[in-house]
Structure 1
Amino acid sequence: MNFMKKKKHMGIRIFCALLFLGISGSVMFSIYKLSAENGAQSNLRSEIVTEKIKQEVKTRLESSEKGMQLSEKIKYYVIMHSPYGSDWNSNIRKLAHFSIYFALACGIYITLAILGVNKTLRFLLTVGICFCFAFGDELHQRYTGRTSSMKDVYLDTFGALVSTCIWTVLSWFASGISLLVHKVNEMYE
């Protein structure tokens, strides 16, 4: 009976690992496809997204006095702390770099967790895979007529690092709760 239970759980783990591996592969494919666009296509896509975001901010925030104040605070913060100042398009492009590698790291980390890779190796593999993919992606951009930048690799890796740190802390927390529950169960047996 116990063997059958373990076999069933292994099948579920393999299915879940393949599911998250597929999600990670889809994110990687999306990154590759976006990088394959020439500079003009990529810039046009960014400008369209930027204009939609600006319109959404204007519609939602600037319709009330508090919203106007929050909008001005956000604009001030972005201008003061972003290397691109008030250039919305550049800021949105860099946020997209960070975000997509944040998502990629989520998929990779969860896949490795399902497969039972220990936390330290999981952390290193996730960040390492994301760094290597970001580096390869920037090299790929050279052949599409776009510029490649190590700053983008660092930003991509930073997005992956933040995601991996969050997942690692959540994993430690979950392990702590599991250990606590196990000890409480032992006390009452």
Structure 2
Amino acid sequence: MLKKLILFILKPLSFLPAIIMMYVIFSFSAQSGMDSGNLSYTVSHKLVEVGNEVLDKNLEDWEIDEAAQRIEYPVRKAAHMTEYFVLAVTVALPFYVYGLRGFGLVLVAGLICVGFACGDEYHQSFVEGRGPSIKDVGIDSIGVFLGIMVVRIFCWTALAPARIMERDKRRLERKVQREKQRARQRRTGRTHGRWEEY
């Protein structure tokens, strides 16, 4: 009873990471176009600096700046995809725990995440220097699909030992039931035999 109560309380909390991720995405979308661009450029610049040090390229500051400007757009789009990948994982995993599997999981988690992406793009139309983009919804949707597939593959793989144990347990239970039934039939047959002798 206590276990059921704990599960009843904890299961809905499994959606908390998804709600937090939605808040994070909403917060990034609430940034002005200038702030968002500066953030993308800062991340791109940092990536080039790290690459420069790791690969020992000895780039000048102006070359780092140029490289950061060149990769800013792909970095921004990769960030979009990554945000929605994480969102899809945090949405799909609780549904999987609740027992939603297969195409149903793809459909429900996908509709929630892509619907949120559409709503988020609409939200950006009210933000200074930002605007809605169907292309971004498409990029977000790729992240969503990948996230859901990762959840399905991970859960199927991670839960395989449990499924095998459950299957073996059911087989054993069926075998025990058959043995009991045969034993009852043998006892019943002997009893009938004794009655026939009288």
TM-score (norm 1): 0.76
Give the aligned partner of residue 106 of structure 1. Answer: 89
Task: Output the amino acid matched with 2:100.
Answer: V
Task: Decide which of 61, 75, 79 is 1:96's aligned counterpart.
Answer: 79
For the structure 1 residues 148 and 175, does the alpha-carbon distance in structure 2 shift closer, same or farther, using more than 3 Å as the test?
same
Task: Decide which of 3, 8, 11 is 1:8's aligned counterpart.
Answer: 3
Give the aligned partner of residue 162 of structure 1. Answer: 146
State the alpha-carbon separation in 1 of the partners of residues 9 and 48 from structure 2.
43
**Is 1:45 aligned to residue 39 of structure 2?**
yes
Q: Which has the higher contact order (CA 8 A, sep 6+)?
A: 1
The answer to whether the Cα contact below 8 Å between 1:37 and 1:144 also exists between their aligned partners in 2 is yes
The answer to whether the Cα contact below 8 Å between 1:17 and 1:115 also exists between their aligned partners in 2 is no
Task: Decide which of 128, 131, 142 is 1:147's aligned counterpart.
Answer: 131
**Is 1:127 aligned to residue 110 of structure 2?**
yes
Task: Decide which of 2, 10, 30 is 1:36's aligned counterpart.
Answer: 30
For the structure 1 residues 107 and 51, does the alpha-carbon distance in structure 2 shift closer, same or farther, using more than 3 Å as the test?
same
- For residues 52-82 of structure 1, the C-alpha deviation after alignment (integer angstroms, 9 at most, x for no partner) is 111111112x13xxxx7xxxxxxxxxxxxxx
**Is 1:115 aligned to residue 98 of structure 2?**
yes
How many percent identity over aligned positions? 25
Task: Output the amino acid matched with 1:168.
Answer: R
- For residues 21-80 of structure 1, the C-alpha deviation after alignment (integer angstroms, 9 at most, x for no partner) is 1111111111111111111111011111111111111112x13xxxx7xxxxxxxxxxxx
1:16-27 to structure 2, matched below 5 A, reads 16-18=11-13, 20-27=14-21
CA root-mean-square deviation: 2.2
Greater alpha carbon shift after TM alignment, 164-173 vs 29-38: 164-173
Deviation (angstroms), 1:88: 0.6
Could you list the runs of 5+ residues in structure 1 that have no partner in the other structure?
A: 69-85
1:170-181 to structure 2, matched below 5 A, reads 170-174=154-158, 176-181=160-165
Deviation (angstroms), 1:14: 3.7
Deviation (angstroms), 1:124: 0.9
Select the structure of larger CA radius of gyration: 2
Deviation (angstroms), 1:177: 3.5
For the structure 1 residues 171 and 120, does the alpha-carbon distance in structure 2 shift closer, same or farther, using more than 3 Å as the test?
farther
State the alpha-carbon separation in 2 of the partners of residues 132 and 97 from structure 1.
15
For the structure 1 residues 165 and 10, does the alpha-carbon distance in structure 2 shift closer, same or farther, using more than 3 Å as the test?
farther
State the alpha-carbon separation in 1 of the partners of residues 156 and 106 from structure 2.
12
Could you list the runs of 5+ residues in structure 2 that have no partner in the other structure?
A: 58-68, 177-198
The size of the alignment, in residue pairs, is 161
The answer to whether the Cα contact below 8 Å between 2:89 and 2:150 also exists between their aligned partners in 1 is no
